[in-house]
Chains A and B, each alone.
Chain A
Amino acid sequence: QKEVEQDPGPLSVPEGAIVSLNCTYSNSAFQYFMWYRQYSRKGPELLMYTYSSGNKEDGRFTAQVDKSSKYISLFIRDSQPSDSATYLCAMSAAPGTASKLTFGTGTRLQVTL
């Protein structure tokens, strides 16, 4: 079993839709959770960062963490064609500068006009 599971998609939605992206994990030591967006042939770009359980909102993006279920989500409201990309969840057990991230496989999202 992989430490982090993520549905690879592709997920296709019409413009304006609410998108839900999810990851599950098995390592209960994970406390730091991130979502990255990666456009084709580019490096990942940090979207959201959360610590422990709870919600965090930033513009059209909301990140949720449920540590009891080992489940994290990223919601995108009013999705735009420019949101079309691969979304990677990442997590870490250790704080600070030497932490290593464990990534999901990424979900490819396509927002259509």
Chain B
Amino acid sequence: GAVVSQHPSRVICKSGTSVKIECRSLDFQATTMFWYRQFPKQSLMLMATSNEGSKATYEQGVEKDKFLINHASLTLSTLTVTSAHPEDSSFYICSAPAPRGRTEAFFGQGTRLTVV
């Protein structure tokens, strides 16, 4: 089945530094990918939609300059958390819509970001 790989699974960084998270579709092409944030015991909150070859679409309240998204190819989207602060600590998950016009999405393994 379709697989989405997310890397790294866990990262600890110092306040003020930037962190890049990668999301790859391994056996299918994804012109669109989604980035979510999940707080403990809460559901997934969509942050932005990553579009291959064009600018990402951000949800209301998400800072574009803080969460930089690049979708450089049909199999790779990256999320860069810039100038990270402790309040950015969270679980970030990417997903890609299933191929061939299906509606469900496949998710990466998630990245646990801790900013100290």
Which A positions have Cβ atoms within 8 angstroms of B?
6, 8, 32, 34, 36, 41-46, 49, 51, 88, 92, 94-101, 103-106, 108
Contacts and interface: CB of A to CB of B under 8 A. Distances in A.
Contacts of A104: 43
Interface of B: 4, 6, 30-32, 34, 41-44, 46, 49, 91, 93, 95, 97-99, 101-110, 112
Contact of B43 (A43, A46, A96, A106): A106
B104 A103 contact: no
B43 A100 contact: no
Given A41-B91, A43-B108, A103 B43 contact: yes
Give the one of B4, B30, B41, B42 with max A CB within 10 A: B41
Contact of B49 (A95, A96, A100, A103): A100
Given A43-B108, A45-B107, A95-B103, A103 B44 contact: yes
25 contacts: A32-B104, A34-B104, A36-B107, A43-B108, A43-B109, A44-B93, A46-B105, A46-B106, A49-B103, A49-B104, A51-B103, A96-B101, A96-B102, A96-B103, A97-B30, A97-B31, A97-B97, A98-B97, A99-B103, A100-B46, A100-B49, A101-B34, A101-B105, A105-B43, A108-B41
B103 A44 contact: no
Contacts of B44: 44, 88, 103
A94 B104 CA distance: 10
Nearest to A89: B43
Contacts of B109: 42-43
A104 B44 CA distance: 8
Nearest to A49: B104
**Nearest 4 Cβ contacts at the A-B interface:** A43-B107, A32-B103, A105-B43, A97-B97
